Structure 1
Amino acid sequence: MAFQTCGLPMCKVTIYFLLSLFAVGEGQYKGFRRFHQVQDTQQRAVFEEQWFTQKLDHFNGADSREWKQRYFVNEAFYRPGGPVFLMIGGEGPANPAWMESGTWLTYAEKLGALCLMLEHRFYGRSHPTVDLSTDNLRFLSSRQALADLAHFRTVIAEARGLTNRKWVAFGGSYPGSLAAWFRLKYPHLVHASVATSAPVHATVNFPEYLEVVWRSLASENADCPLQVKQASDTLVERLKDPESYDNITKDFNLCSKLQIQTMNDFSYFLEMLAGNFMDVVQYNEDNRGFEGVTGGNITIKVLCGIMGDTSLGEPYARYAAVARLMMETFSMKCLDVSFNTYLRDMTNTSWEGPAAGGGRQWVYQTCTEFGFYQSTSSPNQPFTGLPLLYYVKQCADFYNVSAEQLAEAVAQTNEYYGGYDIRSSRIVFPNGSIDPWHALGITQDITSSLPAVFIKGTAHCANMYPARSEDLPQLALARDHIFLLLQQWLKQ
């Protein structure tokens, strides 16, 4: 959800989240892929990984256990007396590419800022515990992450003589929420925040995500979401007849003959195919190539072009053509749609497990804090077969979290942070109209010191990526507006 860092490979993970753009990493697991999907690559020597000692539990003084958290530093633009920029990591490995490129560095050069990036606990190489058992994952939460940020800011400021400097937090997607909440909960430590594509309102059921997908597809071609819906409905009908399974297996190039024995098998298959469209919409035309993300050439225009190509046959055949294009793009020989494989991977608690790149961790956070389940419970969206129960049941299967516990956890999150009703100052909330996550973000000014920047025609975290000549004029203006706000706030 989909809050990857901000990326999109085609593996499995349920809950397309925002995977944070600045975690900047997103693992390869579904519900988690809708963030950033960049692998944990070797960083260049100029930005060597550094390590900071953190408490395992910031809220229990009797627990003295500690661990090492990874961070990066870029001092190239720092001028004495300048501000400190802190990029917040999210649900994936911290990607050193952000220490070399991105809009925040453009701002840093103009303002003489020191730039730091802190990896989120339990992601990347920041391992607080020996494994990812559910018992250990209780130390994974946004509140613990904010306390990590606070302690890091305090100690680094003292060590580097930056206590009196003005600190600015940056983040996109889930880290965007953390940037806003850092300013909200620790106003004495962070002077201002840029909270990009930040879903600040937690909700168990999030059908609005797919409603935005419908509108975003329709913005390219009004018939496109109708064709997707027709294809999805046709597939659902064919799934009712086991005699059709051989043909479906061939049509979608599945790794083994389709087996639909449970509702989970049914929904998981449909989710994998719907995810092709969800991922592309979320990151439509975002300039993510510098992170190592592939597939950026597949846009809404490309998908709607395929869905409108009558030479390929009926909409169902075009839907299959989209799936094959995505597999080819990501060098996948076949599509594994086994829910049992997904269940096995997501319950593997080893740091070497297939979901340890962030999938197991992020889905845990959705089950214990945020929800964000992109169900098909709304009529105004193009897919079928993803009921809320399908997602909620995974919380019990993976972590023994009941539906009642999930609902209570989400309510507590909104109670603690305020949801849409945030009360703070010097936080700017950029969002893109194409990005489905804007439905849970701030898209209108709350006050003059809590402004929104709603960018028509752009997707997830677009304002954070490096500028390029083909950017929409409104995107360039948004970046400039955010810079002017920072200039103004740093004088306060």
Structure 2
Amino acid sequence: MPRSFSVVVICFQLIVLVQGAKRFHLGRSKGGNLGEPAGISGVKLPPAQWFIQKLDHSRPTDTRTWKQRYFVNDSFYDFNNPGPIFLMIGGEGPASAKWMVQGAWIEYAKQFNALCIQLEHRYYGESHPTMDLSTKNLLYLSSHQALADLANFISAMNDKYKFNREVKWIAFGGSYPGSLAAWLRLKYPHLVHAAISSSGPLLAKVNFMEYFQVVVNSLREKTGDEDCVTRVKLAHQQIETFLKTDPAIIEKEFKVCKPFSKASENDMKNFYSSIADDFADLVQYNEDNRISDKRRKTTTINSVCSMLTQHPEKPEYQKLAEFNSIVLEESDETCLDYDYSKLINGLRNVSWSSEQAEGGRQWMYQTCTEFGFYQTSSGEVEVFGNQFPLDFFIQQCQDVFGTKFNAEFVSAGAEWTNRAYGGLDIAAGRVAYVHGSVDPWHALGMTTTQDNDAPAIFIEGTAHCANMYPPSANDSTKLVAARVEIQSYIGSWLNLP
């Protein structure tokens, strides 16, 4: 393929939180929101490599360094005739070598003869900048430092591979890393030529009440009527009634780990949040092509709504409990653990060997200091009740990191993020913003084109980061068309035929 310059593309990996009480949700799934691509078997994966990275980019005289993990796939690349370079950067979870051989970005790499590189996000996976995860050491965990990591890495790779000035980098990312992709283009336009930002929440918002509003709208969109929403609403109303009159019924049906008679107020908020999160995850990953959660292959919005709307002889709470049992089984949980103290104690563990070092503690710190993103019940009170309002999440910030992490502190962090990057008024060209209508995160993203040089691709009927996964025979025509459109933008921004 003829070209007059080389290109580097950066693809970001996304990721939502589930922990100790495994169902706890802070906008992150265990292993990351993006997960891993499906369809990989018998393929040799590239080995990990290590980059010496600066600890603190805000102080030029700080000489402290650490080792950051990255992967390289050069099987499509001709170093004698340098072409594009795709760099996939991990998000709030471990970087996976599986992304080096599978996914939409790999199909683009084949098309443009690209060198593929993936860089892991600081503090996640095996990229450990500090001795532990103490609050003092988490000072160096931020989107600002992550973007500077990218810039430093890009410059170093330019030197290592002796790329000339015509080498252009394009950033790809999904969810939080989708935001990073756009912000990288904004902050380092001399290093990054363009970006594909998938499912990126550009607007930091503490009370993300719109999340569950989209969840409810997605139930309507995928089923074509109001019946499923009505059943979910009735189920939650019945649960609230039984918890006041005969809680043993709900204890049995929902297989809780401890009786409600021993539950604190925060325990109960965590319980309600957990059963609502069943639907949050169901919608966010509906009918995607990822390998990390087997239940999503068969458990979809339509299948769960059918479960709720059929069998009129069963009360709604019982049918919702059946869905909860499916979630427990596929999550390898024997009971629904809603214990708030256990949750907090797990998140307080600062060791790299702790369960929460997988990413739960780190992402919680970022939500408390930069983004918020708290998926509260405030926006859909009629359906889910208002049992997990904003103060429930602010309390978690304080209980884990200290009393200064109050509502004012968290709000100030989100305001700083929007000032630094522009929120939905971001002023960056050559960025394509990709969102799915079913994905709740699109509520904080760019879904309409404001500038012809920064197009929005809104895919009806698709969920979180759907365009990033490997192609599937089950993909909708609109998803297929979106991938083609993204490839077209890459080609046009590279001035390629």
TM-score (norm 1): 0.92
Matched ranges for 1:201-216 at <5 A:
201-216=203-218
Read off the aligned partner of 1:298 and give its amino acid letter: T
Matched ranges for 1:425-440 at <5 A:
425-440=429-444
- Post-superposition shift, 1:84? 1.2
Q: Does 1:229 align with 2:228?
A: no
| Distance of 2:481 and 2:493 partners within structure 1 | 18
Q: Secondary structure at the match of 2:260?
A: coil
| Distance of 1:188 and 1:54 partners within structure 2 | 20
- Post-superposition shift, 1:311? 5.1
| Distance of 1:111 and 1:320 partners within structure 2 | 49
Matched ranges for 1:144-183 at <5 A:
144-164=145-165, 165-183=167-185
Where relative contact order (Cα < 8 A, 6+ residues apart) is larger, the structure is 2
| Distance of 2:34 and 2:248 partners within structure 1 | 34
The 1:383–1:163 alpha-carbon spacing in structure 2 relative to 1, beyond 3 Å, is farther
Matched ranges for 1:468-487 at <5 A:
468-487=472-491
| Distance of 1:279 and 1:312 partners within structure 2 | 27
| Distance of 2:13 and 2:274 partners within structure 1 | 16
| Distance of 1:211 and 1:249 partners within structure 2 | 28
The 1:312–1:388 alpha-carbon spacing in structure 2 relative to 1, beyond 3 Å, is farther
- Post-superposition shift, 1:162? 2.4
Matched ranges for 1:61-460 at <5 A:
61-79=60-78, 80-164=81-165, 165-219=167-221, 220=223, 221-241=225-245, 244-259=246-261, 261-289=263-291, 294-310=295-311, 313-379=314-380, 382-384=383-385, 385-400=387-402, 401-460=405-464
Are the equivalent residues in 1 in contact too, given 2:278–2:324 (CA < 8 A)? yes
| Distance of 2:393 and 2:432 partners within structure 1 | 32
- Post-superposition shift, 1:459? 0.3
- Post-superposition shift, 1:456? 0.2
The 1:320–1:463 alpha-carbon spacing in structure 2 relative to 1, beyond 3 Å, is same
- Post-superposition shift, 1:371? 0.5
The 1:340–1:110 alpha-carbon spacing in structure 2 relative to 1, beyond 3 Å, is same
- Post-superposition shift, 1:5? 2.9
Q: Secondary structure at the match of 1:76?
A: coil
Partner of 1:490: 494
The 1:201–1:381 alpha-carbon spacing in structure 2 relative to 1, beyond 3 Å, is farther
Q: Does 1:60 align with 2:70?
A: no
Structure 2 gaps of 5+ residues are: 1-11
Q: Secondary structure at the match of 1:52?
A: strand
| Distance of 2:313 and 2:139 partners within structure 1 | 50
**Cα-to-partner distance string for 1:63-92 (whole Å, 9 max, x where unaligned):** 221100001111111132211111121010
Partner of 2:14: 5
Q: RMSD of the alignment, in Å?
A: 2.3
Read off the aligned partner of 1:48 and give its amino acid letter: P
Q: Secondary structure at the match of 1:459?
A: coil
| Distance of 1:462 and 1:358 partners within structure 2 | 22
Q: Secondary structure at the match of 1:47?
A: coil
Read off the aligned partner of 1:306 and give its amino acid letter: M
The 1:306–1:412 alpha-carbon spacing in structure 2 relative to 1, beyond 3 Å, is same
- Post-superposition shift, 1:310? 2.3
| Distance of 2:372 and 2:297 partners within structure 1 | 28
Q: Secondary structure at the match of 1:67?
A: strand
| Distance of 2:16 and 2:290 partners within structure 1 | 8
| Distance of 1:465 and 1:8 partners within structure 2 | 20
| Distance of 1:81 and 1:279 partners within structure 2 | 42
| Distance of 2:453 and 2:375 partners within structure 1 | 32
Structure 1 gaps of 5+ residues are: 20-25
Match among 13, 27, 31 for residue 30 of structure 2 = 27
Read off the aligned partner of 1:172 and give its amino acid letter: G
Match among 463, 466, 471 for residue 467 of structure 2 = 463
Q: What count of residue pairs does the alignment treat as equivalent?
A: 474
**Cα-to-partner distance string for 1:187-224 (whole Å, 9 max, x where unaligned):** 00011111000000001111110000001111214211
Are the equivalent residues in 2 in contact too, given 1:209–1:439 (CA < 8 A)? yes
- Post-superposition shift, 1:124? 0.4
Read off the aligned partner of 1:469 and give its amino acid letter: A
- Post-superposition shift, 1:257? 2.4
Q: Secondary structure at the match of 1:106?
A: helix
| Distance of 1:129 and 1:77 partners within structure 2 | 36
The 1:154–1:276 alpha-carbon spacing in structure 2 relative to 1, beyond 3 Å, is same
TM-score (norm 2): 0.91
Identical columns (%): 45
- Post-superposition shift, 1:386? 1.2
| Distance of 2:34 and 2:251 partners within structure 1 | 29
Read off the aligned partner of 1:430 and give its amino acid letter: V
| Distance of 2:290 and 2:15 partners within structure 1 | 8
The 1:355–1:38 alpha-carbon spacing in structure 2 relative to 1, beyond 3 Å, is farther
The 1:453–1:133 alpha-carbon spacing in structure 2 relative to 1, beyond 3 Å, is same
**Cα-to-partner distance string for 1:292-346 (whole Å, 9 max, x where unaligned):** 7553321101110111122561111111111011112223222211111101111
| Distance of 2:339 and 2:64 partners within structure 1 | 39
Read off the aligned partner of 1:479 and give its amino acid letter: R
**Cα-to-partner distance string for 1:379-437 (whole Å, 9 max, x where unaligned):** 47621211111011111111121211111111010000000001011100010000000
